Homo-oligomer: A and B are copies of this chain.
Amino acid sequence: MLERVEAMTTEALMADIGQRARAAGRILATAPGEVKDRALRAMAAAVREAAPEILDGNARDVDAMKANGQTAAFLDRGTLTEERIEAIAAALEDIVALKDPVGDVIAAWERPNGLKIERVRTPLGVIGVIYESRPNVTADAGALCLKAGNAVVLRGGSDTIHSNRAIHASLQKGLAVAGLPEDAIQIVPVTDRAAVGEMLKGLNGNLDVIVPRGGRSLVERVQTEARVPVFAHLEGLVHIFVDKSADLDKAVAIVKNSKLRRTGICGALETLLVHKDIAGSHLPAILDALNQEGCEIRGDDGIRAFGPGILEATEEDWSTEYLDKILSAMIVPDLDTAIAHIAKYGSNHTDCIITEDQAAADRFQAEVDSAIVLHNASTQFADGGEFGMGAEIGIATGRMHARGPVGVEQLTSFKYKVHGTGQTRP
């Protein structure tokens, strides 16, 4: 492949990748579940066996990252270890354990004329994944797409190109073991931005959806420029509203867990809204729990009355996803104001109400237009694994096709099978 590449323009190369992916997708679409699972198990074995080569490739990447002066966090995301390679192999085996969604009968009914109609899951086709820094995405995304019968075109960041190539070689070995086409999982062999541009244009109709995995600027570029559907979220500006009927203990535990269990994930709490009627009874304990963990609070005047150390929140704070030990907080007069605040500043990702009043919970969950709306539970449950979907390729906040965690079922489409006995239409 690499020799071929050098003689081709990026445009021609990407067109070729698209055609190969479409052809492979047609074969995958009817591949039996046990064949796909055989490939996945062989991939896991190949990853374990190739651990030295993967570590070698990764060492080259890490050296280059260091030379480029990347941050410690970036280096951490890009670095592989024996343990992390074992985790990649184990994740491939976890995907084996998922149910094959292809062929699932989603709905079935019979018409008065005797026609039996079934709505049956089919693969989506060809999925493009554009990602940064984390080499494990090569295996995770490749395997999830395969499980759902889709071909995939992977375009990882240049920072981890050698790690990605080494992992990809193991995936190809797995495909070969199962007799599946090697073009089922392709990796873009060049690192120029023009290759991404070709993917955003849809590879001449040979790319059905794009999943960006990475920082805000990557997601923003993909959402703005893509001519094909995108499964993504730009940010998780997650709110909790502590209602006037909130249970104090639940409020303290849920707010603390939502903000601090892990601050860097998209389901982490960013803005706390507190009903004025229980600010006096509930806020001190909530603030105390956050303070103990060193969380900075930026509040409106109402919040600042509860502590001398609370910074003043600016307008910008209400639309900032900190992904850090910082929380913006506000006192609100009622449920309507909380819902309106979330409509104005939220990101349609995940929001939560804490209340013992079922009517308030019902209204909040109906009116807040987010992919995930929780009642009395931590926002950190916003995750495909926690939802019981198995692995996820990301979380989507759009309203089309996939919303919330994008697991193997969300990577499928469907068709109607109509079973007749000679019926004609009057």
Contact = CB atoms under 8 A, between A and B. Distances in A.
Interface of A: 26, 29-30, 103, 109, 111, 115, 117, 122, 124-125, 208-209, 227, 229, 247, 249-250, 253-254, 256-258, 261, 343, 361, 365-367, 369-378, 380-381, 386-388, 399-401, 403-404, 413-425
A contact face: mostly helix, strand, loop, or mixed? mixed
A413 B399 contact: yes
Counting every copy of the chain, the complex holds 2
A141 to B, nearest CB: 18
A377 B203 CA distance: 37
Contacts of A366: 30, 103
Nearest to A267: B425
Contacts of A388: 109, 111, 117
A420 B30 contact: no
Contacts of A417: 365, 373-375
B377 A420 contact: yes
Given A122-B369, A369-B415, 15 more contacts: A111-B388, A122-B399, A247-B422, A250-B421, A253-B424, A361-B419, A372-B415, A373-B416, A373-B417, A375-B418, A377-B421, A377-B424, A400-B413, A403-B415, A404-B416
Contacts of A361: 419
A229 B373 contact: no
B376 A421 contact: yes
Nearest to A418: B374
A153 to B, nearest CB: 16
Contacts of A365: 417
A419 B343 contact: no
A30 B227 CA distance: 31
A253 B403 CA distance: 44
A425 B30 contact: no
Contacts of A404: 415-416
Contact of A400 (B247, B253, B367, B400): B400
Top 5 nearest A-B pairs (CB, nearest first) are A377-B420, A257-B424, A399-B413, A250-B422, A401-B401
Given A29-B369, A369-B122, A419 B117 contact: no
B254 A422 contact: yes
Contact of A425 (B369, B373, B380, B422): B380
